[in-house]
């Protein structure tokens, strides 16, 4: 395997499981110095062992500005620079919340992580991020759909899509590219638990996907690495759907 990220410094927020962990493992296998965050120390320690290659775990919540400061202080101390940011940390509620049932706490928690946390995860990286570096934001097909009972989540991912457009313009003088990976239904541990508790939902989801199946975390991760690598050097402000064709067809 070619090592597109040899000696590059990469941070993955929410990297202790799912798409974040799969991406961290691929970055590390391609030569990167990988830093991952997670809220639970035990899960983070387990992820670091699984990633290998000298990966570093920094416990913290992407919605906490103090935790983000601590993360970037550690990277600055170790390397003094950052080449790639994968702002992956996010939350999707397993419970439907139609408009009339949305509470203030629901809004504050979901937008606090998916929008506020993602914004500051990128903003606070800027002093370390090298000119010509790359930023990948984890979006979702939900940002382009109107899934019932999920308007908060849908809107939070639409905001992520908008950030990529605006930040591409903001960071153009430094040559920093910002793009979004937008997964469809992906067979992560959290998704599997959700589906097992709701018989019939998995079959319904598969019927919505032209390829007839859920995605695998590694399939999303490969798209993340493409957007972070020189192979996508003329792609900026874009949203790459990795969804088995569910949006396009």
CATH class, range 9-241? alpha beta
CB 112 within 8 A of CB 162: no
Q: How far is CA 95 from the centre of its chain?
A: 21
pLDDT digits (tens, 9 = 90+) for 38-86: 999 999 999 999 999 999 999 999 999 999 999 999 999 999 999 999 9
CA distance 171 to 59: 28
% the chain with pLDDT above 90: 88
Q: Is 153 a catalytic residue?
A: yes
35, 72, 153, 234: the active-site residue = 153
CB within 8 Å of 154: residues ≥ 6 apart: 142, 143, 145, 146, 147
CB 135 within 8 A of CB 87: yes
Res. 96 pLDDT band, cuts 50 70 90: confident
Strand partners, 10: 34, 84
What are the φ and ψ backbone dihedral angles of 8, each rounded to 5 degrees? -80, 150
pLDDT digits (tens, 9 = 90+) for 167-177: 999 999 999 99
pLDDT digits (tens, 9 = 90+) for 99-152: 999 999 999 999 999 999 999 999 999 999 999 999 999 999 999 988 888 899
């Amino acid at each position: 395997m070619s090592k597109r990220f040899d000696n590059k410094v990469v941070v993955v927020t929410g990297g202790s499981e799912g798409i974040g962990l799969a991406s961290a493992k691929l970055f590390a296998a391609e030569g990167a110095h990988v830093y991952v965050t997670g809220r639970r120390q035990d899960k983070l320690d387990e992820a670091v062992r699984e990633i290998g290659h000298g990966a570093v775990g920094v416990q913290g919540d992407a919605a906490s500005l103090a935790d983000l400061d601590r993360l970037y202080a550690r990277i600055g101390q170790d390397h003094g620079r950052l080449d790639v940011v994968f702002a992956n940390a996010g939350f999707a509620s397993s419970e439907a919340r139609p408009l009339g049932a949305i509470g203030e706490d629901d809004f504050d928690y979901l937008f606090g992580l998916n929008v506020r946390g993602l914004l500051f995860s990128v903003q606070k990286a800027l002093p370390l991020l090298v000119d010509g570096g790359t930023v990948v934001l984890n979006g979702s097909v939900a940002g382009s759909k109107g899934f019932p009972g999920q308007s908060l989540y849908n809107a939070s991912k639409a905001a992520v899509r908008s950030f990529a457009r605006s930040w591409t313009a903001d960071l153009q003088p430094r040559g920093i590219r910002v793009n979004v990976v937008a997964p469809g239904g992906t067979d992560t541990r959290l998704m599997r638990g959700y589906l097992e508790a709701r018989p019939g939902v998995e079959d319904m989801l598969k019927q919505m996907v032209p390829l007839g199946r859920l995605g695998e975390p590694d399939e999303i991760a490969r798209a993340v690495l493409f957007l972070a690598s020189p192979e996508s050097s003329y792609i900026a402000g874009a949203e790459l759907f990795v969804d088995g064709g569910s949006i396009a067809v």
